[in-house]
Amino acid sequence: MHVVGGHITGDRPFTIAVGGSGRREDWEAERDHIRAVAAAGADWWIEWVPPGEREAMVAAVERGSLRPSAEVSPPA
């Protein structure tokens, strides 16, 4: 962020979005990664859902966003 911020001129706010990868099997490791990305200045984390069977894609969306807190738990 420090490097990027040095190239921004004016006072227009901007947002940093990072992601594009699928969710790891280890959700705590994924939360640690999201926390690190947020600490570096990212505002948004984008989770990639690979193309596949409709049911699997819907299930991935319905499980909700993975947040640094433990609001969402892995399926049993």
pLDDT of 55 reads 95
How many structural domains compose the chain? 1
Does the residue 13 lie in any domain? yes
Does the residue 72 lie in any domain? no
Q: What DSSP designation does 13 have?
A: -
CA 30 centroid distance within chain: 9
Does the residue 76 lie in any domain? no
pLDDT of 16 reads 75
Does the residue 54 lie in any domain? yes
Does the residue 68 lie in any domain? no
pLDDT of 52 reads 94
CB of 44 within 8 A of CB of 10? Answer: no
Please give the model's pTM, rounded to 2 decimal places: 0.63
Does the residue 20 lie in any domain? yes
pLDDT of 15 reads 75
Does the residue 74 lie in any domain? no
CA 1 centroid distance within chain: 17
- Residue 14's domain spans which residues? 2-62
pLDDT of 5 reads 56
Chunked in runs of 10, what are the mean pLDDT values of the chain (76 residues)?
59 72 88 88 84 93 80 60
